[in-house]
Amino acid sequence: MKIHDSGDVLTISNIKELAAGNSDSFREEVRAAVPSGVKAIEIDLSDTDFVDSCGLGALISVYKFVNSRNGPVPVRLVNPAPSIQQIFELTRLHRIFEIVKSE
């Protein structure tokens, strides 16, 4: 997993999966990397081929963390695979996270 802080936007990428086996470490690493005053979080799911309920919990935890510290901060999920996007839609989490398709 890679974390890049450009000042206003924290970008997390190279995530192979978000599942029970790594969701705790994902949550802790991202929370530790969130700078004060961050304007947006972008989580690149291009390389992610699996998300389970623990992974969803980790994403929700990150969302609640940044929004409790810095006011309204969008958390964008970039390029999720169709099967993963379906999970966000089934759980209605696409109303919480911004799902972004980039080139």
Partner 1 sequence: MTGLPHDSATELISANPAPSEALLPPNGERTGNSGPCVCATLRTSLPCDLSSVSAARLELRGFLQQHGVRREEISACELALAEACNNAIQNATTDGQRRSVDRPCDLHPFQS
Angle, CA of 15, 18 and 22, to the nearest 5°: 95
Residue nearer to partner 1 on the CB measure, 3 or 54: 54
Going by DSSP bridges, is the β-strand pair 98-100/9-13 parallel, antiparallel, or unpaired?
Answer: unpaired
Cβ at position 56, least distance to partner 1 in Å:
11
15 vs 34 by CB, closer to partner 1: 15
Residues in 49-68 at the binding interface with partner 1, rule: CB under 8 A: 50, 52-54
Q: List Cα–Cα distances, 80 to 7, 31, 97, in angstroms.
A: 24, 21, 12
Query: Is residue 83 a contact residue for partner 1 (CB under 8 A)?
Result: yes
